[in-house]
Amino acid sequence: METLLFAINAVLPIIILMAVGYFLKHIKFINDSFLSIANKFVYKISLPALLFYNIYKIESFSAIEWNHVWFASLGIVFLFILGMVVVKIAIPEKKQKGVIVQVIFRANFAIIGIPLAQAIGGEQAVINLSMISAIAIPLMNILSVLALTMYIKDNQSGQVISTIKKIISNPLIIGIFLGLIVLFVRSFIQTDTLGNPVFMMQNQLKFIFLPVQWLGQTTTPLALIVLGGRFEFYVIKHLSKQIFIGTVMRALVAPLVVLGAAVIIDQNSEYFNFTYLVYPAFISLFASPTAITGAVMAKEMDNDADLANQCVVWTTIISIFSIFLTVLILRFTGIL
């Protein structure tokens, strides 16, 4: 019963907030205009603030567990390669190949992953996720550009360059980059007798630190409400096979393979040494649904946008159940 309650407490808050958004939209308390503006606010303001804040809270670069970062990065690359194998076998349409590859490896960790990690492991688990995200977010964006261009022969180079520029100016990457800069500068600041830096934002620049912290705290509830409000439950019949393949690979195969590998490696390797506080980060990266921003990129880069949007919806629905089972199993086996 304790294990069951743990899994319920990890997943149900996310479902409830998404249900609130869905309900408010359908009673017309909120509309598409509100959802669009709120989504931009989360993506461009509150989420970068949250990522900056979480990286800022890392004590130093030496506190970063690079073995966790490397495993997560290898897991993303493995899913990218697995996606290429799957589409070569099962997806004949060129404009759909890159979409399915992206669906398989790219996680909606920002909207689903962060609150999930927080629900499972608390604030420290979110900090661990932020460490990993410093590499994972740029990596997923780079691989997305590759996935969405390598099957489309007539993609104009100008379009690819424009997409790369958007990646570099991505608010999430900027938030991470600024956090890393502050972390780097902190290593040169003089410390007191207790080993604490004599200058800290939360002490000397509190008027900046607190607004950043407060903005970050708005991310989770608002993002989940927006996600629920934008849900539309339908299936495009001629895409049902592709939707099924993408959903199964992302929501079921990805967490089974990569999290299974994490458990096996953890038990047989002294180098990786995963703790119960890093598994929430891995769950967020490999069990959460595919990213909404991936669908936006698919449309911009002349891939099948309808398929991309459908995969966002259905991986989100199915991953609710797969995340619950994942948390339940890992808790039951004593890993969480």
Kindly provide the b/e burial profile for residues 231-242, where b requires at least 16 CB atoms within 10 angstroms of the residue's own CB: beeeeeeebeeb
- Angle CA(65)–CA(69)–CA(75) in degrees, nearest 5? 145
Give the pLDDT confidence of 166-181 residue by residue, as tens digits. Answer: 777 778 788 888 888 8
Q: Which residues have a Cβ under 8 Å from the Cβ of 321 and sit 6 or more positions away?
A: none
Burial class (CB in 10 A: 0-12, 13-18, 19+), 175: buried
Count of residues for the chain?
A: 336
Instruction: Give the pair of three-digit tokens for residue 178.
Output: 């600024």
Q: Which residues have a Cβ under 8 Å from the Cβ of 265 and sit 6 or more positions away?
A: 71, 272, 274
pLDDT in the model for residue 154: 59
31-42 mean pLDDT: 88
Give the pLDDT confidence of 63-112 residue by residue, as tens digits. Answer: 678 888 899 999 999 999 999 999 999 999 999 999 999 999 999 877 78
DSSP 290: B
Give the pLDDT confidence of 192-248 residue by residue, as tens digits. Answer: 776 677 777 777 788 888 999 899 888 888 888 888 887 777 767 888 999 999 999
CA–CA gap between residue 56 and residue 126 (Å, rounded): 12
The alpha carbon of residue 128 and the mean position of all alpha carbons in its chain are separated, in whole angstroms, by 13
Give the pLDDT confidence of 240-276 residue by residue, as tens digits. Answer: 999 999 999 999 999 999 999 999 988 887 777 788 8
Give the pLDDT confidence of 121-135 residue by residue, as tens digits. Answer: 888 888 888 788 888
Structure confidence at residue 117 as a pLDDT band (50, 70, 90): confident
pLDDT in the model for residue 78: 97
Burial class (CB in 10 A: 0-12, 13-18, 19+), 292: buried
**Residue among 89, 114, 105 nearest 140 (CA):** 105
Structural domains for the chain = 2-186+197-332 (1.20.1530)
Amino acid of residue 54: N
Quick check: 85 and 206 in contact, CB under 8 A? no
Give the pLDDT confidence of 284-324 residue by residue, as tens digits. Answer: 999 999 987 788 778 777 889 889 888 988 998 898 899 99
